[in-house]
Amino acid sequence: MLTFVQLLKRVRKELNISQEQLARELHVSFSTVNRWENEKSNPNNIAKKVFFDFCKEKGIECE
């Protein structure tokens, strides 16, 4: 099973989008996505739900 960080990076790569673009899609700041990817912070449960809903909307298996 992938960690959240691995999943986040895989989804960005699959969609060919930047951290900034993903941040806009998730309605968070660029620095938030950057901190998640660099394991400086962890998303809360609400942010994770938004991310998983985003994946579902894009047709990407994330769970």
The tens digit of pLDDT for each residue in 4-41 reads 999 999 999 999 999 999 999 999 999 999 999 999 99
What is the arithmetic mean of pLDDT over 38-60?
A: 96
What is the token pair recorded at 12?
A: 């960005």
The owner of tokens 């962890």 is 42
pLDDT of res. 62: 84
> Sorting pLDDT into bands at 50, 70 and 90, what band is 55?
very high
Give the predicted TM-score (pTM) of the model.
Answer: 0.91
Which domains are present in the chain? 4-58 (1.10.260.40)
Which residue pairs, CB below 8 angstroms and at least 24 apart, start in 25-29? Answer: 25/54, 26/50, 26/51, 26/54
